[in-house]
Structure 1
Amino acid sequence: MTETRPYRPNVGIALLNPEGLVFLGRRFRDDGPEIVLPGLEWQMPQGGVDAGEDLQAAARRELWEETGIRDAEILGESDWLTYEFPPFEDPNHRLARFRGQRQKWFAMRFTGREADIDPVTPRNGQPAEFDAWRWERLARVPDLVVPFRREVYRTVAQAFAHLAA
């Protein structure tokens, strides 16, 4: 059977600190096809793009919603990347109409204060997605995420490696 569901438009953010380490949030709950596996709870901020929304604006909004961070400058962006959701059988789930995500990733440099990072406070009516955060080497990140995202994370790590050096 041919898959006919579309990919969900999405942005991802590789937020680099001045030392070249990237922000990772620890997901603390499953959300349907976006699953959490023990030991693989980490991911970079990412989220859906609203209809007609500018991609850079979407990346800034998602970064703020998921981390509280407003102080970041855009350094670069990736080509479009896709991944498939793992099998999921709830036809009423908000993501059930999508086969996976089509993402544009943005490298950003964090220019704020670490004291301003707050991933646990809900924003814009969205529940908190992360319960903890840390800085990590970008090249290590693909080994810390769920398997269905690994290839995208490898591509992002390669595309932005020069910015983390």
Structure 2
Amino acid sequence: MSKVPMTVSGERSLREELERLRRVDRPRITQAIAEAREHGDLKENAEYHAAREQQSFAEGRIQNIESKLSNAQVIDVTTIPRTGKVIFGTTVELVNVDTDATVTYRIVGDDEADVKNNLISVSSPIARALIGKEEGDVVVVKAPSGNIEYEISQVQHI
């Protein structure tokens, strides 16, 4: 399987979630299952079935995170020489050519993407249009509503 790019902060948050699932959630769920078993008949025990469902979800998430971390290629953008080009992990300030509205995005891995927090996936149309470009370049992003032109006003390696 090929490596998937991930930022240092993305890896850290996945490791923290994995640790919480293993050390906090897993024991809590195991305790809830044990308590539910004490109530008797398991066929009609809603608490037992709910706890088993939580256990299934938590174990699935643990496996999912372990898989992601094993296939991750962690990229620390602060160690890459600054060229002024847009690369994975950089923060880019864009100006809409038509409206003069500015927006700032950080290009991150697929699992880290959160548009509400201006974190866009490296595989998104905007990021694909930006990668390799420099400050001052104008890029055309193919959006569902039509093509949008952005000028790259600033590239930061944070």
TM-score normalised to the size of structure 2? Answer: 0.24
Greater share of helix:
2
Q: In terms of Rg, which structure is larger?
A: 2
Greater share of strand:
1
By relative contact order (CA 8 Å, sep 6+), the higher-ranking structure is: 1
TM-score normalised to the size of structure 1? Answer: 0.23
